[in-house]
Amino acid sequence: MTLDPSTEFSNSIIVLNNVYETLTRYVDGKLEPLLATEWSANEDGTVWTFKLRKNVKFHDGTELTSEAVKFSIERTIRLAGGPAYIWDSVQEIETPDPYTVVFKLKYPANIPLIASAGYGAFIFSPKVAQIGDDEAIADWFNAGNDAGTGPYTITKYDPKTQVVLRKFDGYWQGWTEGKFDIAVIQIVPDPSLRMQMVTSGKIHVTRELIYDDLKKLENNPNVYISQKPSFQVLYLFFNTKKFPLSNPDFRAAVAYAIPYKEIIDHVLLGYGLQPSGIIPKGMFGYADHLPPLSQDLEKAKELLAKSNVDPKNVKLVLTYLQSNESEKKASELIWSSLKKLGIEVELRPMNWEQQWAWARSEPTKAQDMFIMYWWPTVMTPYDFLFSMFHTEEEVLFNLSYYYNEEADKLMDEAVQLEGTNPKRAEQLYKMVETILRRDLPAVPLYQISDIYVVHKSIKGFTPNPAYPNVVFFCELESGS
* CATH code, domain with 15: 3.40.190.10
The answer to the question of residue 215 being in a domain is no
In a domain? residue 193: no
Asked if the structure places residue 219 within a domain, the reply is no
CA 31 from centre of chain: 17
CA–CA dist 341, 252 (Å, integer):
13
| Same domain for 400 and 308 | yes
Residues 269 and 401 occupy one common structural domain: yes
Q: Are 371 and 308 in the same domain?
A: yes
pLDDT in tens, the chain (480 residues): 789 999 999 889 999 999 999 999 999 989 999 999 999 999 999 999 999 999 999 999 999 999 999 999 999 999 999 899 999 999 999 999 999 999 999 999 999 999 999 999 999 999 999 999 999 999 999 999 999 999 999 999 998 899 999 999 999 999 999 999 999 999 999 999 999 999 999 999 999 999 999 999 999 999 999 999 999 999 999 999 999 999 999 999 999 999 999 999 999 999 999 999 999 999 999 999 999 999 999 999 999 999 999 999 999 999 999 989 999 999 999 999 999 999 999 999 999 999 999 999 999 999 999 999 999 999 999 999 999 999 998 899 999 999 999 999 999 999 999 999 999 999 999 999 999 999 999 999 999 999 999 999 999 999 999 998 999 999 999 976
39 within some domain: yes
Query: Are residues 111 and 28 part of one domain?
Result: yes
Q: Give a yes or no: residue 214 inside a domain.
A: no
Same domain as 42, residue 109: yes
Instruction: Centre a 10 Å sphere on the Cβ of residue 472 and count the other Cβ atoms it contains.
Output: 19
- Residue 369 backbone zone (phi > 0: left; psi -120 to 50: alpha; other: beta): beta
How far apart CA 83 and CA 89 sit, in angstroms, is: 13
121 found inside a domain: yes
Determine the 3-state secondary structure of 448 from DSSP: strand
Q: Which of 187, 215, 241 is the last residue of a domain?
A: 187
Select from 441, 448, 386 the least CA-distant residue to 233. 448
Residue 148 sits in the same domain as residue 289: no
If one counts the domains in the chain, the total is 2
Mark whether 175 and 242 lie in a shared domain. Answer: no
- What interhelical angle do 405-417 and 381-389 show, nearest 10? 160
CATH number at residue 297: 3.10.105.10
Q: Is residue 440 part of a domain?
A: yes
With respect to residue 467, please indicate whether it lies within any of the assigned structural domains: no
The reply to whether 137 and 282 lie within a common domain is no
Name the burial class of residue 49, with classes exposed (0-12), middle (13-18) and buried (19+) by CB atoms within 10 angstroms of its CB: middle
Quote the domain boundaries for residue 312.
230-448
Note whether 141 and 262 are same-domain residues.
no
432 and 318, same domain (yes or no):
yes
DSSP-derived 3-state class of residue 78: helix
* Cα separation, 55 vs 194, whole angstroms: 40
Q: Can you point out the beta strands (E) in 410-475? A: 442-455, 458-459
Burial of 47 (0-12, 13-18, 19+ CB in 10 A): middle
Q: Are residues 162 and 234 in the same domain?
A: no
What's the confidence (pLDDT) of residue 342? 97
* Cα gap 439→15, rounded to integer Å: 41
Helix count (H) and strand count (E) of the chain?
Answer: 14, 18
Same domain, yes or no, for 291 and 387? Answer: yes
